[in-house]
A and B are shown apart, each in its own frame.
Chain A
Amino acid sequence: MSKVHWPLYEVFIRSKQGLSHRHVGSLHAADEQMALENARDAYTRRSEGCSIWVVKASEIIASQSEERGAFFDPAETKIYRHPTFYTIPDGIEHM
């Protein structure tokens, strides 16, 4: 079998206590259904999650590392962009 027809999929899992899906890894599959099954077998056998997303890797657009400066640095010096002046009341979870 050749990997030509087996594109790469990225796998995101939402854990039972989690609020959002986290990227856990990738795998090869011939179609979306197989990707879901493979993800279940490879990444959720120890009850890590209750929801799986699979996305063809080719669908994902990543920020370029050479543009890192322009992308992320300008925010570093602007303290008014960071919510560091608030106190969080007790009992608020997932912050």
Chain B
Amino acid sequence: MTYSPLTTYTLRLGDTCLVLAQRLTAWCGHAPELEIDLALANIGLDLLGQARNFLSYAAELQGAEFDEDKLAFGRDEREYRNVLLAEQPNGDFADTLMRQYLLDAWHVVLFERLALSRDAQLAAIAAKAIKEVRYHLRFSRGWLVRLGNGTEFSQQKMQHSLNKLWRFSGEMFEADELEIELAQLGIAVDPRTLRTTWEEEVFGTLLAATLVKPQEAQYRTGGKQGLHTEHLGPLLADMQYLQRAYPNQQW
């Protein structure tokens, strides 16, 4: 399946929201506390809504025979365009939280800029999403600082999660030709220009949480080109089970 540059860009944004939402749903009924359970479900639903907006637009760009469901349930991992960070396993609460925080901080700066896009639909989706992701960031930042300053054990766990996930953070600021071209047209946000603002937020919070920024600079990339870690395949097999077993089933 070939997609236009704009469709591909829209899919990258939508797939990241969708995959992260799918990850968060797995916490349902399993979170450490009742209140956290509700919070994670809420964040997951926000992201699912954002994913639907992006995927509906991508389907519209793609043509008549497409819709959001076909895109969500009819593509395999090589066609998924999410950043690798989003597909990482939930692990424990610290892992989930760290993944969430790094992505929330990115989503906030990304959507603030995307809301100024020359593409009216992308701008509208981003403008709606910005309120939600600001709240997500407030939640995940608060927990990061809380657990970083918690017990020795909670601080260790947070540091461990940070060290584990840091190598996936570089991809969010990597631009390929497609994004550079769309950015020059004023449609996309050049991801390289987001890094400074993101680092200000993240480094400040890590300091407040008594966590040490990992020195590792070996970033893992490829998600936006459809080259994923070993974790996305099983996630999609789970998510797409019904459509794979009963193609085009409707209800």
The answer to whether A38 and B146 touch (CB under 8 A), given A1-B33, A6-B33, A28-B33, is no
> Which of A6, A30, A37, A41 gathers most chain B CB within 10 Å?
A41
Q: Which residue of chain B has the shortest Cβ distance to A9 in the bound complex?
A: B35
Select one of A1, A29, A33, A34 contacting B32, CB under 8 A: A1
B210 at the interface (CB under 8 A from A): no
Contact B33 A41 (CB under 8 A): no
* Interface band, chain B: 10 to 19
Contacts between the two chains (Cβ within 8 Å), count:
30
Q: What B residues does A27 contact at CB under 8 A?
A: 34-35
A1-B32, A1-B33, A37-B139 known; A30 and B146 CB under 8 Å?
yes
- How far, in whole Å, are A44 and B146 apart by their CA atoms in the complex? 24
With an 8 Å Cβ cutoff, the count of chain A residues facing the other chain is 15
Contact A38 B142 (CB under 8 A): no
Q: Which of A1, A33, A40, A45 contacts B142 (CB 8 A)?
A: A33
A 33-66 binary contact with B (CB < 8 Å = 1; else 0): 1100110111001000000000000000000000
B-binding residues in A (CB < 8 A): 1, 6, 27-31, 33-34, 37-38, 40-42, 45
Contacts A28-B34, A34-B142, A41-B38 known; list 14 others, CB within 8 Å.
A1-B33, A6-B33, A27-B34, A31-B146, A33-B142, A34-B35, A34-B146, A37-B39, A37-B138, A37-B139, A38-B38, A41-B35, A42-B35, A42-B38
